[in-house]
A = this chain, B = another copy of it.
Amino acid sequence: MLAKRLENLHPYVPGEQPKDRVYIKLNANENPYPPSRKVTEAVTEAVASHPEKIGLYPDPDANELRSAIAQMLNESGGVLSNSSASIPFKVTPDMIFCGNGSDEVLSFVFYTFFDSDRPIVLPEHTYSFYPVYCGYYDIPMDRVPLKSDWHLDTEKMLADANANDSCTIFANPNAPTGIALSRDEVAQMIRRAPKDKAFIVDEAYCDFAEESCIPLLAEFKNLVIVRTFSKSLSFAGQRLGFIIANPELIKAVFTVKNSFNHFPVDFLTQTAGIASCKDWAYYGENARKVKAERESMTAFLRERGWFVIDSSTNFIFAKKDGLEGEKVYQTVKKAGILIRHFSTPGIEQFVRISIGTKEQMDALKEAMKDL
């Protein structure tokens, strides 16, 4: 009854959402702070003054939202937690594409740029949805192991990309390690990679780092940057992601979108997304709080003999000799806190801990203090 292509599918597994009790959720890299009051006010106002818009097709291209995103990037400099970040040109709305979460956006990116006749280059450990899209669209993969210090093996990735004339994709900062390449390191990579092949940098966690690759768009026409509202913008529930790239590439992604679903971003999500962009300073403040808690938790664990990778994200990736990740996960779950543990070979010793509020992290420290 089913199409043969389903044999290639290995669906993504997100962080669990158990309902047996109320947990402190530190397992899905969500933002512990609520959305801006301006966002909830915008939604309330929209349904009060324009209820009929629930019944009418939304703007298929989300143009007002694209403008609001461009303005946020220009005003904030592209890294919400870093007030000295800046972009040396003006981001324009025609450089932006919006979709139903960065997961849908990434799916369109895979479809638009990656052929089925040669492997794409990606790190062995990175966002675990990338291999799932490759299964969905029958795209071969060249998964390059991380170096022993958990950094990307950029030399091997480049050598492979050039050997096969391949596209490249990775998350920067990377997941689940939390390690960021500097913008200069990424620039060096793109400069040496195939010029006519898309080079994708997934900046889902960039607002918790120091640098964005957005300024590199001035130099590289094959650079495609993917962003999400889910993490720094407290918007995981409303599903909104976007691309920043040169307008010619954006046009191609629109063609793909219009061949899949003409209206991927609904009325209330466009409304709430616009309000989020306008209050970006609030989210920047929250991201700075997350960074402070991240440093505090890193120090806490290191004092207790843990190996903790320096993180540029809203989570940390940590392990302790003689302690299985599964065991850590179970111990803190009993204390009413969810963190993430992966059974993927090579990283099964680690746990990934999303950074919450001070109160949440204090509870976690209490639960982990004797581990």
Contact = CB atoms under 8 A, between A and B. Distances in A.
B55 A236 contact: yes
Closest 10 interchain pairs by CB? Answer: A11-B258, A55-B234, A237-B267, A40-B47, A103-B261, A239-B266, A35-B54, A9-B259, A104-B261, A57-B236
A249 to B, nearest CB: 7
Contacts of A252: 1-2, 6
A121 to B, nearest CB: 15
A264 interface: yes
Contact of A266 (B35, B136, B237): B237
B113 A1 contact: yes
A310 interface: no
The A interface is mostly helix, strand or loop, or mixed, namely loop
B238 A14 contact: no
A56 B236 contact: yes
Contacts of A263: 14, 101, 103, 236, 239
Contact of A114 (B3, B15, B133, B261): B3
A54 B115 contact: no
A22 to B, nearest CB: 12
A55 B264 contact: no
Contacts of A248: 1
Interface stretch (A23-31, A143-151, A319-327, A344-352): A23-31
**Total identical chains:** 2
Interface string A202-242: 00000000000000000001100000001000111111000
A266 B238 contact: yes
Interface string A46-71: 01100111111111100000000000
A368 to B, nearest CB: 23
A113 B3 contact: yes
A255 interface: yes
A127 to B, nearest CB: 12
* Interface bracket on A: 35 or more
Nearest to A239: B266
30 contacts: A1-B222, A1-B248, A1-B249, A2-B113, A2-B252, A4-B115, A5-B115, A10-B259, A17-B60, A30-B56, A30-B57, A31-B55, A33-B55, A34-B54, A34-B55, A35-B54, A37-B51, A39-B51, A43-B47, A44-B47, A54-B238, A56-B237, A58-B237, A111-B136, A136-B260, A237-B266, A238-B267, A238-B268, A239-B264, A239-B266
Which of A39, A54, A135, A260 is packed against the most chain B CB atoms within 10 Å? A54
A28 B14 CA distance: 36
A103 B266 CA distance: 13
Nearest to A233: B55
Contacts of A103: 260-263
Contacts of A9: 255-256, 259
A269 B237 CA distance: 10
Nearest to A249: B1
Contact of A101 (B1, B113, B222, B261): B261
